[in-house]
Amino acid sequence: MTTAVNLAVIYYSSTGTGTAIANEIAIAAEEAGAVVRVRKVAELAPQVAIDSNLAWAAHHAATADVPAPTEDDLSWADAIIYGSPTRFGNVASQLKQHLDTLSSLWQTGALADKVYSGFTSTATLHGGHESTLLALYNTFHHFGGVIVPPGYTSPVKFVDGNPYGTSHHAVAGSEPGDIGDDTRNAARHQAERVVGIARALKQGSAKRAV
């Protein structure tokens, strides 16, 4: 019997690139046999700032029904894939705020021994893809998590070029959320790899418990 893996995809996206990647990851993970919850962290920016950008305002309205992550989502998950756009080479404040609220779970050890991975996007070609993911992964070390990067474990990663996680260059003038096949393939591979390793760890834990 195949062991079911519970995967939470938790992300922030202002104009839709992160949402597109999160949805691609969710689809691939479900096809790989995972049970998936997609969660978008709460928006912190004031409405006047959101309304100043048409794409941001449209995406904010379009994703208003996507639930925010709860402690139950994190406790339930065997694996969590986090996503954030880069903000000056770092994690967006919206996602960081979510991470900063997890002390109670961390203190009980509830975030340890889970599989973690991440994805990002930037508006410039070398605008912090890798540094954003590395900054995100610092948190997972504190959780005691098992970090699963895609590495170069598939030919699609030599196209995507980022061993730390899926990353997308949102070219100026492109439609928000139009991530292209290269990013979709990278996202799908990352999802499959995370689910596969999480399943192996869960099966191993079940055998030790017998």
> Which residue range is the domain that position 119 belongs to?
5-209
Distance of alpha carbon 101 from alpha carbon 164, whole angstroms:
25
CA nearest 81: which of 151, 14, 170, 6? 6
User: Whole-angstrom distance between the N-terminal and C-terminal Cα of the chain?
Assistant: 16
Average pLDDT over residues 35-55: 96
pLDDT for 209 equals: 65
| pLDDT beyond 90 at 119 | yes
The pLDDT of residue 210 is: 56
Both tokens of residue 33? 């046999």
Q: How many CB atoms lie within 10 A of CB 137?
A: 18
State the total domains in the chain.
1
**Domain CATH for 16:** 3.40.50.360
What's the predicted TM-score (pTM) here? 0.95
What tokens does 79 get? Answer: 């694996």
